[in-house]
Amino acid sequence: MKQRHTSWVCEGRNKGQRAPTWFYAFRTSEKGLEFIKKATAHTNPEIASVHWELWPCEFMSVDETIADMEECVWEEEK
C-alpha cells in the first residue's frame, strides 16, 4: 500500500507582481501558518509587502501527478 503525505505550500507574491515569487513547503498547516505570520511581520520592506497563500498538496509520483493534472484540466473544461 502506498503512503501519501500532504505538504502545505506557501505561495508568496510580491506587491505588484502577477506571478508567484516565493514557494516554501511545510509538513503541517500549523507550520505553514506560523511561517506566513512571521514572514508578513518581517521588518524588510520587500518581504513585508508579500501576499502569502497556503495550499495543501500531496506528494505523489511523477505518473500520479500527471494523471492528477490531466484530471484537473478536464474538470475545468466542463
Radius of gyration of the chain (CA): 15
- Please state the pTM of the whole predicted model: 0.68
Q: How confident is the model at residue 77 (pLDDT cuts 50, 70, 90)?
A: low
Report the distance separating Cα 74 and Cα 78, nearest Å.
7
Q: What is the pLDDT of residues 19-70, one digit of tens each?
A: 888 899 999 999 999 998 888 887 777 776 788 889 988 888 899 889 988 9
Given a contact cutoff of 8 angstroms between Cβ atoms, the answer to whether 42 and 48 are in contact is yes
Residue whose C-alpha cell is 506566513:
36
Given a contact cutoff of 8 angstroms between Cβ atoms, the answer to whether 54 and 20 are in contact is no
